[in-house]
């Protein structure tokens, strides 16, 4: 029997017959596998994961603040995003490039459903990026010494950037049927990013997918002032708008898609406008209070007689600070070995995250500043600040030392370290262990002359117990103002220095 049809079915009509979305899902799975196994995608993910693993193994990230760790997940996915843009665009133009576009008219799947399949493949890559972001942040959370709290909105930026790039590549393939358009767009995007990079206080920077901070300043999470939630809404709206427009251009159903595009535009406008609204007066006042009178916001605990005052998120770090204070005092002599001190955490938050303003030294007796970062070079810097207060009595006076007392200060600061010579290089501004240099601290630095450096090097090379005994026996004269480096060397049993013993200021 022969069946006669009055007219051929259009592709849309045939697709709507039975389980049309099953074909879309099947095609999306095929496109996803093809996208993830493309050589550029494999290279992009290898570089992304390799860079992330390498960064998290560094000393300066050993004690993470989670309100910084969430932002650290945003930059590297941009490489994946640019690669997805190119690969999705190339996949969407595959039929045109191979001259097979006319054959698709004989299939049951209309062009707009093929566009949906490509969009779902970009979504799959974004989800894979989200897994990588979650693993990166989870590793920071599980690190010993991690403090603070992260933001889900900040963590969403990386995956949303990848999704936005992929859907924009799909939209570009529908608007410009050329394989050259996507690479040119990537070059333009890089130039645009470089042009806006560094405009840290300009509200326009929030129009970029990733908003970086020009400094490494760490603030309490409630003082950050980053509109992360509105920015995530802005990115989600942009991505949704690009994806729906791509399906509309491919011939999708107009009423439904136009309604969706209108909603996506509303999301984009609300997020985009709100995120550039600036800082609220309440936030500005809170930052001023944290900078001028931190004691009103801090909790204090006592350890071995000394007081440690910190913002609530840094409470778990008191034990690390107390350990350094105890080790420094164990090398001191006279009343300094039992001296009780106050460790005060301080920040300069009035300029937000876009400033690395210096802290002025404290003038209250036996009070020491500690910052919001820890690990790496921050440890010997804090140790030097504690030693300076034990020798000079106060932070302001310690930063003004310009005599042989700096030898005693640096011995106390570094003598307890497992590798004191490496610590000496890390704590000096120029990473040197010879000649004159500035020693970094949480506030103003100390100044070491060439002669003082020679004596300190000799001390650090000798047995710790021998030097400690001499320091304790001669504590009064070693901490006397105007003592010279040569006299300090004589008291400590090392050769007289030959270098210059004049301060640089």
pLDDT of residue 108: 66
- Sorted by sequence, the CB contacts under 8 Å of residue 133 that are 6+ apart come out as 73, 77, 155, 158, 159
Q: Is 457 within 8 Å of 449 (Cβ atoms)?
A: no
Contact 499, 453 (CB under 8 A): yes
Contact 390, 336 (CB under 8 A): yes
Residue in the block written with tokens 């600036």: 278
Per-residue pLDDT reduced to its tens digit, 215-238: 778 999 999 989 999 999 999 999
Terminal-residue alpha carbon distance, the chain: 107
How far apart CA 230 and CA 267 sit, in angstroms, is: 9
H helix runs in 197-348, sequence order: 228-249, 254-275, 281-292, 318-331
CA distance 228 to 153: 5
**Contact call for residues 403 and 448 (beta carbons, < 8 A):** no
Dihedral Cα 77, 225, 267, 194, nearest 10 deg: -40
Residue 389 · residue 368 · CB < 8 Å: yes
**pLDDT score for 11:** 47
Ranges in the chain, pLDDT < 70: 1-19, 57-61, 105-108, 194-201, 504-505
Q: What pLDDT score was predicted for residue 500?
A: 85
Instruction: Return the pLDDT at 452.
Output: 94
Residue 312 DSSP symbol:
G
Cβ atoms 436, 500 nearer than 8 A: yes
Alpha-carbon distance 36 to 252, whole Å? Answer: 26
Cα–Cα distance for residue pair 119/239, rounded to 1 Å: 10
Strands 437-439, 367-370: pairing is unpaired
Other CB atoms within 10 Å distance of the CB of residue 166? 32
Triad 90, 91, 93: Cα angle to 5°: 65
Q: Which residues contact 136 (CB under 8 A, 6 or more apart)?
A: 52, 56, 72, 73
Rounded Cα distance between 404 and 388, Å, is 13
Instruction: Answer yes or no: are the C-beta atoms of 80 and 48 closer than 8 Å.
Output: yes
Question: Which residues make beta-bridge pairs with 303?
Answer: 306
Eight-state DSSP code of residue 370:
E
The pTM for the full model equals: 0.85
Distances (CA, A) of 293 to 183, 290, 307, 315: 53, 6, 17, 18
Segment 451-497, tens digit of pLDDT: 999 999 999 999 999 999 999 999 999 999 989 999 999 999 999 99
Four-residue CA torsion sign, 117, 118, 119, 124: positive
């Amino acid at each position: 029997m022969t069946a006669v049809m009055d007219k051929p079915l259009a592709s849309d009509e045939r697709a709507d017959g039975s389980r049309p979305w099953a074909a879309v899902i099947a095609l999306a799975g095929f496109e996803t596998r093809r996208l993830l196994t493309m050589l550029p995608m494999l290279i992009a993910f290898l570089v992304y994961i390799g860079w992330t693993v390498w960064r998290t193994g560094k000393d300066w990230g050993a004690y993470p603040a989670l309100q910084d760790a969430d932002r650290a997940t945003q930059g590297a996915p941009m490489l994946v995003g640019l690669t997805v843009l190119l690969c999705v665009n190339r996949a969407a133009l595959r039929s045109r490039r191979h001259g097979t576009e006319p054959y698709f008219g004989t299939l049951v799947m209309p062009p707009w459903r093929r566009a949906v399949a490509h969009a779902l493949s970009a979504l799959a890559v974004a989800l894979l990026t989200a897994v990588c972001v979650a693993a990166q942040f989870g590793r920071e959370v599980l690190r010993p010494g991690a403090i603070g709290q992260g933001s889900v909105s900040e963590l969403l930026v990386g995956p949303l950037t990848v999704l936005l790039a992929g859907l924009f590549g799909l939209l570009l393939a529908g608007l410009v049927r050329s394989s050259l358009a996507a690479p040119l767009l990537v070059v333009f995007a890089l130039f645009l990013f470089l042009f806006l990079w560094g405009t840290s206080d300009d509200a326009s920077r929030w129009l970029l997918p990733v908003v970086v901070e020009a400094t490494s300043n760490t603030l309490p999470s409630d003082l950050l002032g980053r509109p992360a939630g509105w920015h995530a809404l802005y990115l989600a709206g942009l991505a949704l708008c690009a994806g729906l427009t791509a399906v509309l251009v491919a011939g999708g159903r107009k009423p439904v898609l136009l309604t969706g595009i209108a909603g996506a535009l509303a999301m984009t406008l609300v997020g985009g406008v709100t995120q550039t609204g600036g800082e609220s007066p309440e936030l500005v006042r809170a930052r001023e209070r944290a900078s001028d009178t931190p004691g009103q916001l801090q909790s204090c605990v006592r350890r071995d007689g000394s007081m440690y005052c910190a913002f609530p998120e840094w409470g778990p770090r008191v034990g690390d600070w107390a350990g350094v204070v105890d080790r420094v005092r164990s090398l001191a002599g006279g009343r300094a070995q039992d001296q009780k001190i106050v460790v005060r955490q301080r920040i300069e938050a009035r300029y937000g995250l876009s400033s690395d303003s210096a802290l002025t030294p404290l003038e209250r007796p036996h009070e020491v500043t500690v910052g919001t970062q820890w690990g790496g070079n921050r440890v010997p810097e804090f140790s030097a600040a504690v030693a300076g207060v034990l020798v000079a009595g106060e932070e302001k006076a310690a930063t003004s030392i310009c005599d042989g007392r700096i030898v005693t200060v640096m011995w106390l600061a570094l003598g307890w370290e497992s590798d004191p010579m490496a610590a000496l290089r890390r704590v000096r501004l120029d990473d040197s262990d010879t000649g004159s240099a500035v020693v970094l601290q949480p506030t103003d630095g100390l100044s070491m002359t060439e002669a003082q450096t020679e004596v300190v090097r000799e001390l650090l090379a000798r047995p710790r117990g021998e030097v400690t005994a001499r320091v304790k026996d001669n504590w009064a004269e070693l901490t006397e103002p105007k003592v010279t480096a040569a006299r300090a060397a004589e008291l400590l049993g090392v050769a007289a220095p030959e270098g210059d013993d004049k301060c640089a200021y």
